[in-house]
Amino acid sequence: MIRHTVVFTLKHPPHSLEEKRFLADAKRILTAIKGVTHFEQLRQVSPKNDYRFGFSMEFADQRAYSGYNDHPDHVAFVRDRWIPEVAAFMEIDYVPLGWG
């Protein structure tokens, strides 16, 4: 299992129609890609950083994750929405430790 996460801040004003559209479109587009499971959209609340949102999703294995990453809908979303609309982000991918 691979858990893919990203925290980010949008260029749009908080609570704006553009912000709501970005989040709705992201959920619609990304959850439709084969292999994506346990998709969540989260609000980041720690005062220790300036990010506002998070996405989390899981993949059964590296093959499923690579299929998502290379999928034309994901590539188009990154090109057409993520790059123009996201001000800052950080990705972190996890796998279980496997400690008994």
Give the mean pLDDT of 55-71. Answer: 98
Give this prediction's pTM: 0.92
Domain positions in the chain are 2-94
What's residue 98's pLDDT? 83
Residues of the chain above pLDDT 70, percent = 99
Q: Which CATH number fits domain 2-94: 3.90.550.10, 3.30.420.40, 3.30.70.100, 3.30.70.20?
A: 3.30.70.100
What's residue 100's pLDDT? 64
Rg (CA), the chain: 14
Give the mean pLDDT of 53-71. Answer: 98
pLDDT digits (tens, 9 = 90+) for 10-37: 999 999 999 999 999 999 999 999 999 9
Burial class (CB in 10 A: 0-12, 13-18, 19+), 72: exposed
